[in-house]
């Protein structure tokens, strides 16, 4: 039984109902309303930013030593772990995702707080070589207030990926969840508030501000107190946000969309590749920025491999995220399911053969749910919209290739550059191709595996900047250079 979901916003250190329009958070497996969450208003964003700026400058926070801030992060991790089952159930209810996945995402959120705490304790400022009679140093300082704007697909993990380093860096954070899925961020907000209160720290160090992107997100980006925005979401939104930020000359980090290639060379371990390709595109029901949605298979293998893939994709268990064994859960929202279906309709018009799926599943158990079957398409030209645009659903486009040059050219022939998978036993070929692919992450004989210590981000229209890794904290700090005179001889103009 799911405990009552949180429905209040966290503004200027206080939990309260937002002053804006109500929005229903709906379970995509059933259409049942989970909670009604009121958006905050632009005035409430301004109040949160103002209180955040004061909290960031409060000596109780500002003067904490890194290992003391690290203790706060460890406490947040422990509270997430204590509440893990509830957070996973909440995320499954709000996003539709399978429980197996949301449990892993919650565990990774706790892991991100712990890793970041450890990275914070071992981060060092540098003494830099100097030629004159002075000591030169490069030190890192908090930005003050930062905005963290997230999409709906993996709230627990994406929230932790921004909150942990931004707090570690000494900032206050304004977190904006996506309209469809605010509940996990609100629950995480409760956890962070509790950890702050236990330590006597200002609760305004975190605000959780639900509401529409064009109103609440935009107000965060424009607020004069906000000195950086970390954004994860669609490329068009990221571009618009970066334009606004440019007016303020404010740094942004952008984790955006993808249309990632998965490549199966002729010598691949076919069983391993089949499993990996399916997991890469159909897990999370394809609602993953790194979904391996363009499949390139060496021509001699193509018919057998794609045939076997379509057959197996047709046997994946489609069902509610709460059912044990579910492999393909509902999409996040009926409107998103309709968008995915429209893309498959478009692909048909563009000449695609639908090898499996291509429709919503039928049966009383799927009624009211935003389900769509795993779908494999082929026969499309590479410049078709279904090959080039991010569908963000369980839809794979298969393409044969003849030689490495042709493969690399087409794999890179997209506006995106987020990820790539290569399946082969030939380590030299894997290395050559991996180095020529224009993407932020390349997986070889595996796919969609993540480590918090490994930086993540995109190239081209997939984004700017990197999250995670030891340097993840630095992305939320400003660098300052200090020159400390040690002159024993008079300065040039000394009398």
Instruction: Give the residue with the Cβ less far from ligand NAD, 279 or 450.
Output: 450
Instruction: Give the residue with the Cβ less far from ligand NAD, 223 or 255.
Output: 255
DSSP 412: T
Q: Is 356 a catalytic residue?
A: no
At its nearest, how many Å lie between ligand NAD and the CB of residue 215? 9
DSSP 40: P
What is each CA distance from 169 to 70, 142, 144, 165, in whole angstroms? 10, 6, 9, 6
At its nearest, how many Å lie between ligand NAD and the CB of residue 418? 6
Closest of 416, 422, 410 to residue 391, by C-alpha: 416
At its nearest, how many Å lie between ligand NAD and the CB of residue 321? 18
At its nearest, how many Å lie between ligand NAD and the CB of residue 234? 3
Kindly give, in sequence order, each residue whose CB lies less than 8 Å from that of residue 227, ignoring residues fewer than 6 positions away.
Answer: 143, 144, 145, 146, 250, 251
Q: Find out whether 127 and 137 touch, Cβ atoms under 8 Å.
A: yes
At its nearest, how many Å lie between ligand NAD and the CB of residue 171? 18
Instruction: Give the residue with the Cβ less far from ligand NAD, 207 or 356.
Output: 207
Kindly give, in sequence order, each residue whose CB lies less than 8 Å from that of residue 405, ignoring residues fewer than 6 positions away.
Answer: none
Instruction: Give the residue with the Cβ less far from ligand NAD, 453 or 486.
Output: 453
Instruction: Give the residue with the Cβ less far from ligand NAD, 136 or 388.
Output: 388
Which residues of this protein are in contact with ligand NAD, per CB under 6 A?
A: 149-153, 176, 178-179, 213-214, 217-218, 221, 232-234, 237, 240-241, 255-258, 289, 390, 392, 418, 458, 463
Q: Find out whether 399 and 380 touch, Cβ atoms under 8 Å.
A: yes
d(CA 321, CA 104) in angstroms, rounded, equals 13
Q: Is 420 a catalytic residue?
A: no
Which 3 state secondary structure label does DSSP give 241?
helix
At its nearest, how many Å lie between ligand NAD and the CB of residue 440? 8
- How would DSSP label each residue in 291-321? ---EEEEEHHHHHHHHHHHHHHHTTS-B--T
Residue of 8, 289, 420, 467 with catalytic role: 289
Q: Find out whether 477 and 144 touch, Cβ atoms under 8 Å.
A: no
Within 10 angstroms of residue 436's Cβ, the number of other Cβ atoms is: 16
Instruction: Give the residue with the Cβ less far from ligand NAD, 296 or 392.
Output: 392
Residue of 255, 387, 420, 467 with catalytic role: 255
Q: Give the helix/strand (H/E) hosting 187.
A: helix 183-198
* Catalytic positions: 255, 289
């Amino acid at each position: 039984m799911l405990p009552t979901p949180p429905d209040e916003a966290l503004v200027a250190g206080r939990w309260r109902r937002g002053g804006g329009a109500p929005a229903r958070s709906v379970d995509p497996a059933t259409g049942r309303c989970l909670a009604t969450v009121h958006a905050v208003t632009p005035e409430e964003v301004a109040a949160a930013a103002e209180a955040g700026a004061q909290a960031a400058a409060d000596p109780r926070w500002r003067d904490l030593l890194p290992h003391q801030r690290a203790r706060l992060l460890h406490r947040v991790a422990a509270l997430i772990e204590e509440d893990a089952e509830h957070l996973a159930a909440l995320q499954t209810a709000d996003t539709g995702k399978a429980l197996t996945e949301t449990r892993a995402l919650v565990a990774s959120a706790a892991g991100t707080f712990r890793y970041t705490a450890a990275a914070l304790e071992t981060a060092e400022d540098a003494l830099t070589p100097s030629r004159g009679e002075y000591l030169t140093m490069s030190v890192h300082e908090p930005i003050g207030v930062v905005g963290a704007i997230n999409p709906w697909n993996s709230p627990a993990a994406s929230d932790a990926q921004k909150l942990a380093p931004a707090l570690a860096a000494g900032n206050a954070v304004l977190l904006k969840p996506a309209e469809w899925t605010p509940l996990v961020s609100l629950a995480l907000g409760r956890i962070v508030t509790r950890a702050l209160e236990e330590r006597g720290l200002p609760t305004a160090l975190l605000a959780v501000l639900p509401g529409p992107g064009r109103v609440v997100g935009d107000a965060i980006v424009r607020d004069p107190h906000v000195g950086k925005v970390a954004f994860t979401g669609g490329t068009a939104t990221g571009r618009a946000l970066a334009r606004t930020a440019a007016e303020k000359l404010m740094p942004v980090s952008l984790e955006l969309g993808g249309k990632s290639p998965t490549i199966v060379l002729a010598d691949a371990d076919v069983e391993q590749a089949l499993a990996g390709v399916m997991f890469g595109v159909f897990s999370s029901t394809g609602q993953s920025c790194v979904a391996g949605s363009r499949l390139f298979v060496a021509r001699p293998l193509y018919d057998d491999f794609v045939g076997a893939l379509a057959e197996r994709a047709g046997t994946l268990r489609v069902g509610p995220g709460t059912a044990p064994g579910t492999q393909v859960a509902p999409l996040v929202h009926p409107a998103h399911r309709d968008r995915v279906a429209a893309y498959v309709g478009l692909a048909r018009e563009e000449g695609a053969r639908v090898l499996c799926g291509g429709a919503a599943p039928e049966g009383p158990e799927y009624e009211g749910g935003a389900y769509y079957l795993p779908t494999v398409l082929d026969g499309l030209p590479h410049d078709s919209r279904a090959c080039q645009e991010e569908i963000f659903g369980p839809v794979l486009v298969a393409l044969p290739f003849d030689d490495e040059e042709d493969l690399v050219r087409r794999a890179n022939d997209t506006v995106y550059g987020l990820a790539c998978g290569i399946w082969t036993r030939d380590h030299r070929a894997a290395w050559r191709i991996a180095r020529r692919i224009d993407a932020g992450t390349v997986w070889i004989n595996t796919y969609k595996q993540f480590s918090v210590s490994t930086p993540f981000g995109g190239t081209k229209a997939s984004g700017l900047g990197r999250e995670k890794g030891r340097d993840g904290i630095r992305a939320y700090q400003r660098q300052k250079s200090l020159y400390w005179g040690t002159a024993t001889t008079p300065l040039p103009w000394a009398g």
